[in-house]
Amino acid sequence: MIMEEIQVEAENKKYDPKIAAFLCNWCSYAGADLAGVGRIQYPPTIRTIRVPCSGRINPLYILKAMANGADGVLVSGCHPGDCHYISGNYVARRKFALIKSLLTYVGLEEDRVNFSWVSAAEGGRFAEVVKGVSERVGALGPNKGVFKVDDGGATDE
């Protein structure tokens, strides 16, 4: 009886993706904080990594997150024009456009890697962005391994 219940529960349980969220210290991280302080509900799918600026994002961070099994990546910084360091997110914007384009080109599902601008005042919007990203990554299912290394090294062919 109990076993059956557990099984049913497991089947009904929605798949929760794991998403690495790189948030800039000055805007998006504070936006996430505001969402928390305001008790705005959003799915517990993101694992936050605070970075000094979206300009600090190394493309390898995103690739490595995918390789280590994250189901998705969210990168968020200040809106263009609002960067604490004046031009960090402008420089990042060119980089992000190329990263997204290349990853789509090599066959990574388009919704796995996401970029957004969220300001420190947009707590509600931050929750919406996370909701949207979680839904889309959730719909794709677990990381299918374009970059994922399963067994820590040896050949998989």
Partner 1 sequence: MTGVQRMNKIISDIRETARQLLADGKVDVVIGYAKGSLPLKATPCFVHSAQEVDSLIWDETCENNLAAFVAKTPGKKAIVAKGCDSRALVVLLQENQLVRDDLYIIGVSCHGVIDQRKIGAEVGEILEASISDGKISVKGMEGDKEYLFAEVKDATCQTCRYPNPVIEDLHLGELIQVSQDVAAFADVSAMENKSESERQAYFKEQMSKCIRCYACRNACPLCYCQECFVDCNSPRWLTGGVDRAENLLFQAGRVLHLAGRCVDCGACSRACPQGVDIRALNRKMTKDVYEMYNHESGISEEGKPALNVYSANDPEEQFLVKE
Helix/strand/coil percent split, the chain, to 5: 45, 15, 40
Strand, helix or coil for residue 39: coil
Nearer to partner 1, 53 or 99 (CB): 99
Based on the shown chain and the rule CB under 8 A, indicate whether residue 103 belongs to the binding site for partner 1: yes
Options 40, 49, 140, 146; binder of partner 1; rule CB under 8 A:
146
| Residue 107 binds partner 1 (CB under 8 A) | yes
Specify the residue, 8 or 98, whose C-beta has the smaller distance to partner 1.
98
State which of residues 7, 8, 38, 98 lies at the interface with partner 1 (CB under 8 A).
98
Q: How many CB atoms lie within 10 A of CB 110?
A: 11
- Across-strand partners of 77? 117
Angle (CA) 150-152-157 rounded to 5° is 60
Tell me which residues in 64-83 interact with partner 1 (CB under 8 A).
64, 67, 74, 80-81
